[in-house]
Amino acid sequence: MINNLIVSGSPHIHKPESVARIMWTVVISLIPALIAGVIIFGANALWVTLAAVTAAVLTELILGLCTRKKVTVFDGTAVITGILLAFNLPSEVPLWLPIVGAVFSIAIGKAVFGGLGQNIFNPALVGRVFLMASWPKYMTTFTLPFNLDAVTSATPLAALKEGKVLEHISYLDLFLGKHGGCLGEVCILALLLGAALLFIKRYISWHIPFTYILTTGVFVYIFGGDKLFSGDWLFHILSGGLILGAFFMATDYVATPLTARGQLIFGVGCGLLTAVIRLWGGYPEGVSYAILMMNATTPFIDRYTKVRIYGTR
Amino acid sequence: MVRLAENKHHSENKPAQRLPSPFKAYIPLIQHLGKLCNPEVRVGDLVRRGQRIGNIAAHVSAPVHASISGKVMAITDWPHPVLGRAKTIIVEGDGQDNPVEFRQRSQPEVDKLTAQDLRGIVLDAGIVGMGGASFPTHVKLNPAKPVDTLILNGAECEPYLTADACLMAEKTAQICASAALIARCLEIKNIYIGIEKNKPEAIKAFSNQPGIKVKILPADYPQGGEKQLIKNILGKEIPRGKLPFDIGVLVQNVATVNAIYETVYLGKPLIERIVTVAGSCLENPANLLVRVGTPIKELIEFCGPLKEPPAKIIMGGPMMGIAQYTDEVPVIKSSSGLLLLNKKEAKCLNEDPCIRCAACVRGCPVGLMPCQINLASEKLLWNLTKEYGASDCIECGICNYVCPSNRRLLQTIKRAKLEVVK
């Protein structure tokens, strides 16, 4: 007779998949952009990222221990939050800035809502707008690429906002990241490489990123020029944090809609808000706020975009 | 719909081997959906193979028959593969295997049968749906509305299982004759057989049969679910809350159809079936022709020796099958497979919070949002689970299977289904 049989409900097999596997893959997908950031802005980019990641992981660990919850540091989500926050900072910020931001991201952006899976806003963006509101000077002082003397420069979007004439920044330079900006957002090529990995692994779908980028592009093309239908849509797609935001932050599972239809609405919403802020708002850049505002609408979108159940109309 | 690792090669294309009849047969008085049978024998009675020993106590029920000849030892509670424990007639074999006289019918006799005759014969034989649901077939053959389409379910979408594939390749003619009989009696015009494309032998066997249209289905789980099968073959859906006959369709599992043949033509009641015995613990996975009532330990012994002790024994497939607590349970009419999983495969995974990745939403074959029902169910918000359509769940288990957080989605949805009915 066979003894000690395990009895459990069906199903009895499981797909070889886990939260940790997904999250660490996302971490890997961000590495090309980090390498690009270090090449373009120097070792500071690395130190800022490491500071943010360490602070995020330690905050997660300490809060987990204090609240006697299951320790979730090893699932990689805190690492992602740290990296994404750092990617949204200039490379020349003092090192306490990413640390403060990361602590805020994890503690206020995630833990107070109940930890993994509960946050209604993207934690990294919560940290970023907190830093933006508290230390705007640090947050908007950018350095020229490949310039170790840290000469400050404006981002292309900021220059545009101030009405300055853009000096010889080609689309190729924008694509490769040879311009001022946050350390992880400038190199579109590296970001797309990482995004490709997530697509291949089917961890993200096209619904949000493509509608987001398309909507921003179309809106800017229509309204962004001197007259209608003359906006420089390609410039807007390639500059600022749009690519980083569309592929890595607007696709955050937790704070985005569940269904394909909901995700399309979410993407369009992000695209519209980004374009509106960039063209007519007070900030040169609108990606962070656009995503955060759409995060807030997610429960509402979810409620009205249920899937059609078999046998119903 | 989701593509699963098939794991069918262990027993694929192996002809069914006959398992020696058991020394003792354990015949549960309930092997179907519906009411328990009344025993018709007493302890000490002698019974023959094929003799009815439990009769129906309600319309939705099916009689049970002795699968070996011998003496009734006891009528008692015994481990049951689906219900945990159930009233069971234990027959000790005399080694003779003496059958009752089987009433065989010639083709002209069969041609004279009416729908009413067919239902009577099927009822007397104790035939139930052999694909797993075990709904009494005589009830299903009496649809409340006229049907014009018969679909033979040969999808067999569960991993590991090859019993139906084996049957389809070996008993093609019987299945076709039986399908034609059902179609004639119920005035059905179209007969389809749905077979997943991973069963080329079965597809070949049926492709030249007159009167039957073969539909080759993608090898996605749960292709064999009634709703999915109808949608894939006919391109229409059963409206919510309705049954297949509401859209003029009758679905029968191929094994059930074969059992109808053996009853009508050969006079045999449903006392044996093909069971796939598989799993990483076994040296010799096989398709076995097994008497109903045979304890599963005899199947395991026959397919042994064991490579390692099983940590989990499943009756049925790995997606919808039922984990057994003992190897004393008998094979019943609906037992399509027996799986022995090792310690590693049976490991219970820890549950993490839902990260809203929506894998379950994309995977659900009936369009539910399992993660939402799960959260509502955990908070005991039954009205909300109803709003999310919990009662439409077909319990295929895909949501659990794909969930990266290993959440017990199906269990909580099943709970919600029960609460919604209340």
Q: What is the CATH number of the domain that holds B179?
A: 3.40.50.11540
Domain boundary among B241, B264, B287: B264
Tokens (6 digits) for B330: 């008998």
Q: Is B372 on the interface with A (CB under 8 A)?
A: yes
Confidence of residue A225 (pLDDT cuts 50, 70, 90): confident
Q: How much is the CA Rg of chain B, to the nearest whole Å?
A: 21
Q: Is B390 on the interface with A (CB under 8 A)?
A: no
User: Which stretches of chain A are DSSP H helices?
Assistant: 19-41, 43-66, 77-87, 96-107, 123-134, 136-139, 156-161, 171-176, 188-200, 207-223, 233-238, 242-244, 260-280, 287-304
For residue B410, the surrounding DSSP H or E stretch is helix B409-421
Taking an 8 Å cut-off on Cβ atoms, the answer to whether B318 and A312 are in contact is no
Q: What is the pLDDT of residue B32?
A: 92
Pair B244, B124 in one domain: yes
Averaged pLDDT, A257-284: 95
Strand, coil or helix: B349: coil
Q: Going residue by residue through chain B (422 aa), what tens digit of pLDDT does each one get?
A: 899 998 998 888 889 999 999 999 999 999 999 999 999 999 999 999 999 999 998 989 999 999 999 999 999 999 999 999 999 999 999 999 999 999 999 999 999 999 999 999 999 999 999 987 899 999 999 999 999 999 999 999 999 999 999 999 999 999 999 999 999 999 999 999 999 999 999 999 999 899 999 999 999 999 999 999 999 999 999 999 999 999 999 999 999 999 999 999 999 999 999 999 999 999 899 999 999 999 999 999 999 889 999 999 999 999 999 999 999 999 999 999 999 999 999 988 889 999 999 999 999 999 999 999 999 999 999 999 999 999 999 999 999 999 999 999 999 999 999 999 87
How many angstroms away from the CA of A38 is the closest CA of chain B? 31
Pair B235, B366 in one domain: no
Q: Give the integer Cα–Cα distance in Å for A168 and B176.
A: 77
- Is residue B207 in some structural domain? yes
How many angstroms away from the CA of B374 is the closest CA of chain A? 14
How many angstroms away from the CA of A73 is the closest CA of chain B? 13
Q: What ranges do the domains of chain A cover? A: 19-304
Q: Give the integer Cα–Cα distance in Å for B357 and A305.
A: 16
Domain boundary among B264, B291, B316: B264
Considering only CA atoms, which of B65, B19, B81 is closest in space to residue B277?
B19
- At A82-98, the pLDDT tens digits run 999 999 999 989 999 99
How many angstroms away from the CA of B331 is the closest CA of chain A? 16
Pair B232, B368 in one domain: no
Taking an 8 Å cut-off on Cβ atoms, the answer to whether B326 and A5 are in contact is yes
Q: Which positions ≥6 away from A300 have C-beta within 8 Å?
A: none
Q: Give the integer Cα–Cα distance in Å for A71 and A64.
A: 5
- Is residue B296 in some structural domain? no
Pair B246, B363 in one domain: no
CB B413 within 8 A of CB A9: no
Taking an 8 Å cut-off on Cβ atoms, the answer to whether B324 and A7 are in contact is yes
B406 vs A4, A14, A254: nearest CB = A14
Instruction: Search chain B and give the residue with CA nearest A258.
Output: B358
B327, B388, B400, B417: best to mutate for the A interface, most A CBs within 10 A: B400
Q: Is B364 on the interface with A (CB under 8 A)?
A: yes
Q: Is B235 on the interface with A (CB under 8 A)?
A: no
β-bridge pairing B149-154 and B190-196: parallel
Q: What is the pLDDT of residue A144?
A: 77
B312 vs A6, A115, A311: nearest CB = A6
Q: What is the pLDDT of residue A152?
A: 66
Residues in B closer than 8 angstroms to A72, CB to CB, are 352
A117 vs B237, B348, B355: nearest CB = B355
pTM: 0.92
- Is residue B12 in some structural domain? no
Q: What is the DSSP letter of A112?
A: G
Residues in B closer than 8 angstroms to A5, CB to CB, are 310-313, 323-327
| Residue A166 predicted with pLDDT over 70 | no
Residue A179's CB is within 10 A of a number of other CB atoms, namely 23
B8, B243, B352: best to mutate for the A interface, most A CBs within 10 A: B352
Averaged pLDDT, A115-121: 93
Give the CA dihedral A287, A292, A294, A297, nearest 10 degrees. Answer: -170
Residue numbers of B between 39 and 98 with CB closer than 8 Å to A: none
Taking an 8 Å cut-off on Cβ atoms, the answer to whether B346 and A12 are in contact is yes
Residue A240's CB is within 10 A of a number of other CB atoms, namely 27
Pair B364, B258 in one domain: no
B283 against A128, higher pLDDT: A128
Q: What is the pLDDT of residue A158?
A: 80
- Is residue B319 in some structural domain? no
Considering only CA atoms, which of B313, B301, B317, B303 is closest in space to residue B343?
B313
Taking an 8 Å cut-off on Cβ atoms, the answer to whether B319 and A259 are in contact is no
Taking an 8 Å cut-off on Cβ atoms, the answer to whether B231 and A310 are in contact is yes
Taking an 8 Å cut-off on Cβ atoms, the answer to whether A1 and B327 are in contact is yes
Domain boundary among B207, B238, B264: B264
Strand, coil or helix: A3: coil
Q: Give the integer Cα–Cα distance in Å for B341 and B319.
A: 13
Taking an 8 Å cut-off on Cβ atoms, the answer to whether B410 and A12 are in contact is no
A253 vs B323, B352, B356: nearest CB = B356
Residues in B closer than 8 angstroms to A14, CB to CB, are 349, 400-401, 406
Q: Is B387 on the interface with A (CB under 8 A)?
A: no
Taking an 8 Å cut-off on Cβ atoms, the answer to whether A11 and B325 are in contact is no
Q: Which positions ≥6 away from A301 have C-beta within 8 Å?
A: A257, A262, A265, A266
Q: What is the pLDDT of residue B132?
A: 79
* Number of separate domains in chain B: 2
Taking an 8 Å cut-off on Cβ atoms, the answer to whether B323 and A21 are in contact is no
* Domain with B374 in it: 359-421
Q: What is the pLDDT of residue A284?
A: 83
Taking an 8 Å cut-off on Cβ atoms, the answer to whether A311 and B242 are in contact is yes
| Residue A210 predicted with pLDDT over 70 | yes
A14, A25, A80, A305: best to mutate for the B interface, most B CBs within 10 A: A14
For residue B264, the surrounding DSSP H or E stretch is helix B254-264
The single residue listed with the structure tokens 């699963």 is: B4
Q: Which residues of A touch B (CB under 8 A)?
A: 1-2, 4-15, 17-19, 21-22, 72, 75, 115-118, 253-254, 256, 258-259, 302, 306-312
Taking an 8 Å cut-off on Cβ atoms, the answer to whether A311 and B320 are in contact is no
Strand, coil or helix: B76: strand
Q: CATH code for A19-304?
A: 1.10.3430
A309 vs B311, B345, B389: nearest CB = B389
